[in-house]
Structure 1
């Protein structure tokens, strides 16, 4: 099993070393220490950090990451379900924004306030 320093693990993951230290401090990451107290990242710790990184990149906060990685599957699933619902709502809002903005590009009215369709979009927001 390979062992990495915090710097080597951070470089492999493409993050700064202070990020890994912070994740450990808040409980999102478990890292072994050597006799001198230096952090040692074995393959499991690097993989755990990779999971934290992926969960952060899909929008989970650190408290949500910790809950999503909890040993109790029900708690983890609840966090993931809530994030899916939030992302689905965001997708709906984004699609509505695209429709509105696309209309403003094609609108034949000089001012958006003069357009009944634009006014309808504004009332729906």
Structure 2
């Protein structure tokens, strides 16, 4: 059993973050007889999952949906996030391709290069 401060320190977040996650429904934490939050191993593992989902880019509402007890409710949220990340990867790859071309370009000014002009028009 851990206090909220101990759990926060173990996770590398502030205690107010854990309180917020609980408030929005992303985290379920039981209370002791005095009303203090008590983090058992299950609650700590749930908090680790929330933290990982946040780090991979899910918003808190998406985290709540992704952690739904019914998998069919969680899958569409995760699938949309995967599609968004894949689109981001594709856009970044296009940026790398364009920038690599500008580094290797033989033209003094990018405006003089027909390939650069093509990249610009594709944006």
TM range (shorter): over 0.9
* d(CA) in 1 for partners of 2:37, 2:73: 29
Partner of 2:121: 123
Runs of 4+ in 1 over 4 A off after TM superposition: none
Aligned to 1:88: 86
Aligned equivalents of 2:28, 2:111: Cα separation in 1: 56
Q: CA deviation at 1:103?
A: 0.5
Q: Distance in 2 between matches of 1:75 and 1:100?
A: 39
Deviation at 1:42, TM superposition (A): 0.6
- CA RMSD between the two structures: 0.7
| Unpaired segments ≥5 residues, structure 2 | none
Number of residue-to-residue matches in the alignment: 123
Unpaired runs of 5+ residues, structure 1, are: none
Counterpart of 1:107? 105
Give the aligned partner of residue 67 of structure 1.
65
Q: What pairs with 1:1-125 in structure 2 (closer than 5 Å)?
A: 3-125=1-123
TM-score, length basis structure 1: 0.96
Instruction: Tell me the TM-score normalised to structure 2 length.
Output: 0.98
Provide the rounded CA distance (Å) in 1 between the counterparts of 2:37 and 2:112. Answer: 64
What SS does the aligned partner of 1:15 have? coil
Residue 35 of structure 1 deviates from its aligned partner by 1.6
Per-residue CA shift, 1:17-48, capped at 9, x if unaligned?
Answer: 11111100111000011121111001100000
